[in-house]
Amino acid sequence: MTVHFPFQNSYSALPDSFFARVAPTPVAAPRLIKLNRPLAVQLGLDPDMLETAEGAEILAGKTVPPGADPIAMAYAGHQFGQFVPQLGDGRAILLGEVIDKDGIRRDIQLKGSGPTPFSRRGDGRAALGPVLREYIVSEAMFALGIPTTRSLAAVVTGEHVIRETALPGAVLTRIAASHIRVGTFQFFAVRRDTDAIRRLADHVITRHYPDLLHAERPYHALLAAVVARQAELVARWLLVGFIHGVMNTDNTSISGETIDYGPCAFMDAYNPAQVFSSIDEMGRYAYANQPRIALWNLTRLAECLLPLFSDEQEKAVAEAQDILGAFAETFSAAYQTGLRKKVGLFTDRDGDEALIQDLLEAMARNQADFTLTFRKLGEAAGDDAADARAQFMDPTAFDEWAKRWRERTALEPQSAAERQAAMHAVNPVFIPRNHRVEAVIQAAVNDDNYAPFEELVKVLAKPFEDQPEYAAYADPPLPDQRVLQTFCGT
């Protein structure tokens, strides 16, 4: 029997300047270590077949399945503010697209599948650690309800890759609404290829924003739609304490999905200036900077679209600025609405923003754990405040705030049980804690032991459920377990 992929290939039907045709480089001895069976079914694929030796060869890039049209996509990008006119998929190959059970077109891409014309002297491979990190965190983000690329499979290649040392090689099968980025538009803008920008914009509208096909000004509407999605996405990151780590324009998805899980991390103790990425020495992509950077990236997209807005530069710039001006309001509305839900407020009243901000400031001063403070606050809605106040170095800081919070919640008709249920529905108990992710990676890399990985993935699939048998996974790290830096893994 043959593993069947019902491929459609709309992106590879675009002009040759959009990509390079290149096949994955075969690997020695592929072995499937994880298949996301529910996702395979959602994509219309046969999980039993994918778990065969033939399936492992396809997922490792050793065999190209019928119907695939393998390409490496071209793009440019601002990396930590510095523009690079040509980046592109240096270690990833898009096999093709499938239509999932909901009628949505999805890319199937292999990460770590060998060199491409965009590899810039790199080996095009991926080490096992970063593959496991992306699998864990992207699937956790999905379970948290945050738009994200997803992970279909992880395969070890039977080969080593050389980084600081020899490490097991691996390939991740990544699923995305598409892999089109702000940097994709920049690739053509820097070449002053307006026809290609228009062609790309038309493709994006058809694929991601079909309701704009008949808009009076479709390219203006496209920018507005991308601005709205990015504003809402970054708000959702902040609401769960997520730090992307490398918010370059080539890591900013036009579809509004979280993409590229390199040195990403979730905060333990709340700190707005928190940075984990080893290469973010200036804190450009710190937790609280993410909304500002998202707008900066969107401004780069707007610059690319100016030729489609108007032949008059001043008019085009003014129109773009007007659209970009909506970012702050959209972000603030999404963020403040989310914060109100996290503290169990069902209505919007004067003073709510200040009340919530005071909590955040108290959390920062007292090194309170971000995730557990909000989760335990839900329990405090039912009068059990012990665990919430225990998150604070000075518990009286919580007591002072909680008195005001209870006065505020008393103005609403919901019962304590209703409030607690609503808060528990938005405040996870389980996140991919950095020390847990690192422990899983070490067990796999050092001992070829994937049981800890399987268990962590299982726990994170139900982040809002208490799961008493896995309660230890909710604990923040002990001082000697803290992970202070994360790495890109390229």
Residue in 178, 156, 194, 187 with CA at minimum distance from that of residue 78: 187
List CB contacts of 163: < 8 A, sequence separation 6 or more: 127
What is residue 23's DSSP assignment? Answer: P
- d(C-alpha 299, C-alpha 303), whole Å: 6
d(CA 251, CA 285): 12
Cβ atoms of 176 and 106 closer than 8 Å: yes
| Spatial separation of the C-alpha atoms in residues 118 and 85, rounded to whole Å | 12
**CA triplet 227, 488, 89: central angle to 5 degrees?**
65
112-130 as b/e, with b when 16 or more CB fall inside 10 Å? bbbbbebbeeebbbbbbbb
Angle, nearest 10°, between helix axes 313-324 and 290-309? 150
Q: From the candidates 89, 250, 260, 369, which is the catalytic residue?
A: 250
How far apart, in whole angstroms, are the C-alpha atoms of residue 82 and residue 86? 12
Pairing of strands 105-111, 166-176: antiparallel
Can you list the positions of beta strands (E) in 202-311? 242-243, 265-266
Cα 59 from chain centroid (whole Å):
22
383 is annotated as an active-site residue? no
Choose among 55, 56, 53, 63: nearest CA to 23: 63
CA-CA-CA-CA dihedral for 109, 175, 152, 482, to nearest 10: 100
Q: What does DSSP say about strands 19-21 and 71-73: parallel, antiparallel, or unpaired?
A: antiparallel
Facing residues of 78 across strands?
83
DSSP letters of 29-66? --EEEEE-HHHHHHTT--HHHHTSHHHHHHHTTSSPPT
- Asked if residue 143 lies in contact with residue 39, where contact means CB atoms within 8 angstroms, the answer is no
Active site residues: 250
